[in-house]
Amino acid sequence: MTTANMHDWLNDHGDFLYRFALARLRDPHLAEDVVQETFLAAIKSPSFAEQSAPRTWLTGILKHKIIDVMRKNVREIAASDLMDDEDGNMDEFFDETGHWAEKPLAWDIPDNALEQQQFLSILQTCIDKLPAKLAQLFLMRDVHDTDNEEICKELNITTTNAWVMLYRARMGLRKCLEINWLGGLKV
């Protein structure tokens, strides 16, 4: 194994790793950075010559690099105004008696592929409207489906805090989808 092989890996797997990171971090520069860190960690790893499934191995390293980014994000979310209220400051969603301020509508998700594509693109827009760090935590949780305890342990936050953050993200996303995806909605 030589540096040349690692260059082959960069050519063969670089784009995939970049897309993997981009899908979760939603920031091209951050994605480039974690892919770069991944290759540098890989070439310094003593076991790099023995890898028979480089893409899987590199993706594993990349996940940890992404979790490192999350760890920093969560610390910042926890310290920000966003988390001032214990139950996540949900005043905009509920009235003082705990009832829905705006009642959730009935969604009618189309099977039609084109409309699904539209739905997914609205979803992307809505994710990008969330505070970036919150969006990344949410994607990490709901995409990887990594065990919550494990994420919390890796991120070094209390479990309750993570639940509140994820709740906020889901409430914001649901509302945004409902507002922006009017085509398929019925009252």
Partner 1 sequence: MFRNQLARGLEGLIMLSCKQASQLTSQSLDRPLTLRERFALQLHLMICKYCRRFSQHLQTLRAAIGKMVDSIENNDTIKMPSAAKKRIADQLATNRPQP
Question: Which residues are near partner 1 by CB under 8 A?
Answer: 1-3, 6-7, 10, 14-20, 22-24, 28, 31-32, 35-36, 39-40, 43-46, 48-49, 87, 90, 93-94, 97-100, 103-107, 109, 116, 119-120, 123-124, 139, 141-143, 148, 159, 162-163, 166-167, 170-171, 173-174, 177-178
Q: CB of residue 172 vs partner 1: minimum separation in angstroms?
A: 11
| Distance from the first to the final alpha carbon of the chain | 62
Nearest distance from C-beta of residue 75 to partner 1, angstroms: 19
Beta-ladder partners of 107: 185
At its nearest, how many Å lie between partner 1 and the CB of residue 56?
A: 14
Question: In terms of CB distance, is 64 or 170 closer to partner 1?
Answer: 170
Kindly tell me which of 79 and 97 has the beta carbon lying closer to partner 1: 97
Give the residue with the Cβ less far from partner 1, 7 or 72. 7
Question: If DSSP states are collapsed to H, E and C, what string results for 39-63?
Answer: HHHHHHCCCHHHCCCHHHHHHHHHH
Query: In whole angstroms, what is the distance from residue 161 CA to residue 77 CA?
Result: 10
User: What single letter denotes the amino acid at residue 107?
Assistant: W
Q: Residue 73 carries which DSSP code?
A: H
Q: How far is the CB of 14 from partner 1 (least distance, A)?
A: 5
132: DSSP letter: H
Closest distance to partner 1 from the beta carbon of 167 (Å): 4
- Which is nearer to partner 1, 14 or 131 (by Cβ)? 14
Closer CB to partner 1, residue 53 or residue 100?
A: 100
**Which tokens hold the place of 65?**
């690099």
Nearer to partner 1, 28 or 60 (CB): 28
CA dist 59 → 19, 53, 116 (Å)? 11, 10, 28
Shortest Å, Cβ 81 to partner 1: 20
Six-digit token string for 182: 């009017």
User: Do 51 and 34 contact (CB within 8 A), yes or no?
Assistant: no
The single residue listed with the structure tokens 């214990």 is 86
